Structure 1
Amino acid sequence: MTGYWEYRTRRGTFRIVPRHGRFHPFFEDEDLGAYHSAESALDDLVGGHTSFPSSGLDPSTCGLPDEISEWTFVRTG
């Protein structure tokens, strides 16, 4: 199964996308890092420990769920 996890907020859309064996958290089209698992990427997003988007938005202030099962899995391919 291929795809990515997505969560929409009033400030924009966050995604966790698998790429080249790593998991990349995104805000809109901005890549905020690379992690060994989706859960690690999510933990850092929720804790505000990823790179911040160019807008300066702190992901930890966006009310992101801290369980990957609460995000929408979007199938691709």
Structure 2
Amino acid sequence: EVQPLPPSRLEAEIPHELEQIILKVLAKEPSARYRTADQLGRVLIGFQKQFSVDETPIPEVTTEQKSDTAPTETVINIR
């Protein structure tokens, strides 16, 4: 079996702990991976808390947002 290339081989500045998380996600053997996405999420949050990360909230996008501009023309196809 070919093992995944360690991320640090592509980007030397990747922290060792993050590389270990990534390699566990990419593990060939399912029993070596995180059991759930929730477990992975908790590990990533724990990793993130080690750094002073700007937690600027991402604006929520909805399909009902109104445009600031009105249509400039209306096209009607009549056959």
| TM-score interval for Structure 1 and Structure 2 normalised by the shorter chain | under 0.3
Higher fraction of helix? 2
In the superposition, the TM-score normalised over structure 2's length comes to: 0.25
Of structures 1 and 2, the larger Rg is shown by 2
Higher fraction of strand? 1
In the superposition, the TM-score normalised over structure 1's length comes to: 0.25
RCO higher in structure (CA 8 A, sep ≥6) = 1
